[in-house]
């Protein structure tokens, strides 16, 4: 048998009943409780699950890069036929140099900030025994391979001088230096823009075909996993609970946890008006807790006594699928949240916020950067406006101008209930200040850690509603009930609360003074999907009860679509499209919106004809002529789009667009009905 044949016979990675524990103050706390799976050569395998389920620990254990307090307590790890746990440190080094590679979240952090890119890439070759000169030539080839055209220029730069997408390509280039048999990707696109994410994912798929490397992908975003992976393993509390081909697991889940996870997601155009999102009752077990025989038993609607006492065996309800559940035959009976009648009169109140010609110019050295250009918008009472666009599109700048965190340029009109607001919060009347509130992405840093929840909310009530004492107590009980916090949470400090509870406190704070407008800036990005669903439901309920208007910013288009009544699409500070959520998402839409939607990987699978945006976001200092999007627009009309900038016109009632292409033509091009 030749060497290459042995190689193809052996799994790229095999974990067998792997147990890992972390020592916390001398006590070992189990994190992995018997993980078993196998990745065949050339196969892409995805691990999914909520934070703390052990996905990353699995990957780091596999390459023996656990933190100092983590150790494998039992089980085995085999990579390309090598028993990883038996390797000496020099053998381990050789294996890392030549057969396995890793790419992780935040490429900016994965590259050494003080060393030029060229030197760092070359290192991956010199470690394989190439001379410095050979390594240089190889580095150029490596960058060409990840579709970086001007490799020489990139090699001569420092990491911070490259964009996030470019950095991640460099990291991938380094990872592929050794033609690895196993490539581990740990949240490789988290934190990147949707369009950049799509590019990186396409690159990974292409390179996988070219190199034949097996891939272990860890991602909390199920859409990403579906786009890349052949097979998927769903993890919960340190165990794999279900495994199978990615498309089948996502389309037809067989484990109650997988069913719950998928139903939490706002998908298939779900909107708050039609239904509440499903949630998974209870919360994730803490690290090291004693768990019943079935780890999911406590949160499972199908659980019986059997689940408490007997470890569920591997069952194979369908060929090629493995499910660890006693009741997999009954998953069909799990009840889904019912559709609800649309709420009458929602979002048709009077205009609360009126924006006209809102611009914001920043000075950067000697340049003027126009971060917002003449934005016109209306927001009605009880309505949600979703802001969509890549980073640098002006979403946050617009939100900050509305909040008065920075002043819009002179000439901008920002009216609350028909009254012009001062540019900065400090110049606004107390009433106006109270009327506009914000919910941040990270409740951790938004809450004062040294105060109890009660003290935090008392302050909000005093500052925003002007009440204290007995009145405040009454209002506090009502408020905590509204955001579903229990009274015992009031005496806790933020650090004792989970992420979801902290966000509830932040939401309660924002609603303390009965706000007219609440800006939700990535309100659920830091949360797990089951928690996200609960928060989205809460935001929906509060809006209905309080008739507050929302401005929602999120990179997760599912979230935006779920909450929004109308959508504004921004590109380089310009409003490109504005219309009802249904219309903007279903089309015909602006070519930019089309590309943006097409970039987002869907857990329901991607349409065959995806639109790929090429090129990077142009610099706001050196804007393209004509339509600012024409440099990347797949539908640009030569001679027209680079010559003049199209105005924002109402193409059909309530739907405005900034595009030279007539709506009917877009309708035909995009096969929209």
Partner 1 sequence: MLVFLIRRIALAIVTLLLLTIIVFALSNVLPGDVGRQILGPFAPQESVDELNKRLGTDQPLYKQYIEQMKRYAQGDLGESYKTRESVTHVIGTTFLNSAKLAFLALIFTVPLAILAGVWAALKRGSLFDRVMVTVSLAGSSLPEFVTASFLLVVFAVQLAWFPTLASTNDPSGPIDQLWRLALPVFALVIVYFGYIARMARAGVITAMEADYTRTAFMKGLPRGVVIRRHVLRNALLPTISVVATQTGYLFGGLLAVELIFNYNGLGRELVRAAVSKDLPVLSAGVLLIGVVYMIATLLGDILISILNPRVRLGDQ
Residues that bind partner 1 (CB under 8 A): 63, 65, 68, 93-98, 100-102, 104, 106, 109-116, 123-124, 127, 158, 160-161, 171, 174, 177-178
Compute the distance between CA of residue 568 and CA of residue 552 in angstroms, rounded to an integer: 10
Closest contact distance (angstroms) between CB of 509 and partner 1 is 33
Closest contact distance (angstroms) between CB of 125 and partner 1 is 10
Closest contact distance (angstroms) between CB of 115 and partner 1 is 7
By the 8 A CB rule, do 301 and 334 touch?
yes
**Angle CA 341–267–264, to nearest 5:** 85
Compute the distance between CA of residue 597 and CA of residue 624 in angstroms, rounded to an integer: 23
Looking at beta carbons only, is 127 or 424 nearer to partner 1? Answer: 127
State the burial class of residue 557 (Cβ atoms within 10 Å of its Cβ: 0-12, 13-18, 19+): buried
**Angle CA 248–253–255, to nearest 5:** 140
**Beta strand 367-380 pairing with 351-364:** antiparallel
Residue 410 tokens read as: 């002179």
Residue 406 tokens read as: 């920075």
Peptide bond into 588 cis (omega under 30): yes
Give the residue from 203, 261, 209, 211 showing the smallest Cα distance to 232: 261
Residue 151 tokens read as: 């490799």
Looking at beta carbons only, is 56 or 396 nearer to partner 1? Answer: 56
Closest contact distance (angstroms) between CB of 93 and partner 1 is 5
Closest contact distance (angstroms) between CB of 89 and partner 1 is 8
Looking at beta carbons only, is 91 or 306 nearer to partner 1? Answer: 91
By the 8 A CB rule, do 113 and 158 touch?
yes
Closest contact distance (angstroms) between CB of 116 and partner 1 is 8
Q: In what order do the strands lie in the sheet with 239-245?
A: 100-104, 182-186, 214-218, 44-48, 231-236, 239-245, 322-324, 314-315
Looking at beta carbons only, is 192 or 539 nearer to partner 1? Answer: 192
Closest contact distance (angstroms) between CB of 159 and partner 1 is 9
Closest contact distance (angstroms) between CB of 360 and partner 1 is 20
Closest contact distance (angstroms) between CB of 112 and partner 1 is 4
Looking at beta carbons only, is 98 or 498 nearer to partner 1? Answer: 98
State the burial class of residue 247 (Cβ atoms within 10 Å of its Cβ: 0-12, 13-18, 19+): middle
Give the residue from 27, 50, 22 showing the smallest Cα distance to 218: 50
Q: Token pair 């048999």 is at which residue?
A: 181
Closest contact distance (angstroms) between CB of 114 and partner 1 is 5
Looking at beta carbons only, is 167 or 598 nearer to partner 1? Answer: 167
Torsion angle defined by CA atoms of residues 199, 203, 205 and 208, in that order, rounded to the nearest 10 degrees: -170
Closest contact distance (angstroms) between CB of 141 and partner 1 is 17
Closest contact distance (angstroms) between CB of 165 and partner 1 is 17
- Three-class SS state of 245: strand
**Beta strand 574-580 pairing with 655-657:** antiparallel
Closest contact distance (angstroms) between CB of 102 and partner 1 is 5
C-alpha separations of 490 from 451, 461, 476 in Å: 10, 14, 10
Looking at beta carbons only, is 125 or 629 nearer to partner 1? Answer: 125
End-to-end CA distance of the chain: 59
Looking at beta carbons only, is 368 or 431 nearer to partner 1? Answer: 368
Helices (H) and strands (E) in the chain, counts: 24, 24
State the burial class of residue 410 (Cβ atoms within 10 Å of its Cβ: 0-12, 13-18, 19+): exposed
Residues 6 or more apart in contact with residue 608 via CB below 8 angstroms: none
Looking at beta carbons only, is 95 or 461 nearer to partner 1? Answer: 95
Looking at beta carbons only, is 191 or 404 nearer to partner 1? Answer: 191
State the burial class of residue 106 (Cβ atoms within 10 Å of its Cβ: 0-12, 13-18, 19+): middle
Closest contact distance (angstroms) between CB of 619 and partner 1 is 11
Looking at beta carbons only, is 127 or 455 nearer to partner 1? Answer: 127
By the 8 A CB rule, do 294 and 285 touch?
no
Closest contact distance (angstroms) between CB of 120 and partner 1 is 8
Looking at beta carbons only, is 110 or 271 nearer to partner 1? Answer: 110
Looking at beta carbons only, is 104 or 250 nearer to partner 1? Answer: 104
Looking at beta carbons only, is 110 or 412 nearer to partner 1? Answer: 110
Helix (H) / strand (E) containing 204: helix 194-211
Looking at beta carbons only, is 93 or 308 nearer to partner 1? Answer: 93
């Amino acid at each position: 048998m030749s060497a290459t044949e042995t190689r193809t016979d052996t799994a790229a990675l095999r974990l067998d009943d792997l147990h890992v524990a972390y020592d916390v103050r001398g006590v070992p706390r189990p994190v992995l409780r018997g993980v078993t799976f196998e990745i065949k050569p050339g196969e892409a395998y995805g691990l999914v699950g909520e934070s703390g389920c052990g996905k990353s620990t699995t990957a780091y254990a596999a390459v023996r890069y656990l933190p100092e307090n983590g150790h494998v307590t039992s089980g085995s790890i085999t990579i390309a036929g090598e028993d990883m746990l038996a390797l000496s440190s020099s053998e381990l080094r050789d294996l890392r140099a030549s057969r396995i590679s890793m790419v992780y979240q935040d490429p900016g952090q994965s590259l050494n900030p003080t060393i030029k890119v060229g030197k760092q890439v070359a290192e991956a070759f010199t470690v394989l025994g190439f001379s410095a000169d050979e390594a240089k030539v190889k580095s150029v080839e490596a960058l060409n391979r990840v579709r970086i055209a001007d490799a020489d220029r990139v090699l001569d730069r420092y990491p911070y001088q490259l964009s996030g997408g470019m950095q991640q390509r460099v990291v991938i280039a380094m990872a592929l230096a050794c033609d690895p048999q196993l490539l581990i990707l740990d949240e490789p696109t988290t934190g990147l823009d949707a369009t950049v994410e799509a590019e990186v994912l396409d690159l990974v798929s292409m390179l996988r075909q070219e190199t034949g490397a097996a891939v272990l992908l860890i991602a909390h975003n199920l859409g990403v996993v579906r786009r890349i992976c052949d097979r998927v393993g769903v993890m919960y509390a340190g165990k794999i609970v279900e495994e199978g081909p990615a498309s089948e697991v996502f389309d037809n889940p067989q484990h109650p946890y997988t069913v719950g996870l998928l139903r939490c997601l706002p998908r298939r155009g779900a909107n708050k008006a039609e239904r509440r999102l499903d949630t998974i009752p209870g919360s994730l077990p803490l690290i090291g807790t004693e768990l019943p025989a079935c780890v999911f038993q406590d949160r499972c609607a199908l659980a019986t006594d059997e689940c408490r006492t007997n470890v569920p065996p591997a069952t194979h309800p369908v060929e090629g699928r493995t499910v660890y559940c006693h009741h997999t035959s009954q998953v069909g009976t799990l009840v889904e949240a019912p559709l609800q009648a649309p709420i009458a009169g929602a979002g048709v109140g009077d205009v609360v916020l009126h924006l006209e010609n809102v611009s914001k110019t920043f000075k950067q050295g000697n340049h003027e950067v126009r971060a917002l250009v003449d934005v016109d918008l209306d927001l009605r009472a009880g309505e949600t406006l979703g802001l969509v666009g890549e980073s640098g599109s002006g979403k946050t700048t617009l939100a900050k101008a509305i909040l008065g965190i920075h002043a819009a340029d002179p000439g901008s009109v920002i009216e609350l209930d028909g009254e012009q607001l001062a540019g900065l919060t400090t110049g606004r009347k107390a009433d106006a200040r109270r009327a506009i509130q914000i919910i941040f992405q990270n409740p951790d840093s938004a809450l004062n850690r040294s105060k109890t929840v009660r003290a935090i909310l008392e302050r909000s009530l005093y500052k925003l509603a002007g009440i204290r004492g007995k009145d405040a107590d009454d209002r506090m009980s009502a408020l905590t009930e509204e955001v579903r916090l229990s009274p015992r949470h009031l005496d806790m400090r933020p650090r004792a609360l989970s992420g979801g509870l902290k966000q509830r406190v932040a939401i309660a704070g924002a609603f303390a003074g009965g706000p007219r407008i609440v800006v939700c800036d990535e309100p659920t990005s830091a949360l797990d999907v089951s928690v996200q669903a609960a928060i989205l439901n809460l935001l929906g309920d509060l809006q209905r009860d309080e008739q507050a208007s929302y401005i929602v910013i999120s990179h997760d288009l599912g979230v935006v679509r779920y909450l929004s009544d109308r959508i504004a699409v921004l590109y380089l500070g310009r409003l490109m499209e504005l219309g009802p959520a249904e219309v903007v998402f279903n089309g015909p839409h602006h070519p930019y919106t089309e590309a943006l939607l097409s970039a987002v990987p869907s857990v329901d699978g991607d349409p065959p004809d995806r639109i790929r945006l090429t090129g990077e976001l142009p610099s706001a200092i050196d804007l393209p002529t004509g339509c600012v999007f024409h440099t990347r627009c797949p539908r640009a009309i030569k001679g027209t789009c680079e010559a003049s900038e199209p105005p924002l016109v109402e193409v059909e009632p309530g739907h405005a667009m900034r595009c030279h292409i007539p709506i009917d033509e877009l309708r035909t091009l995009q096969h929209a009905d």
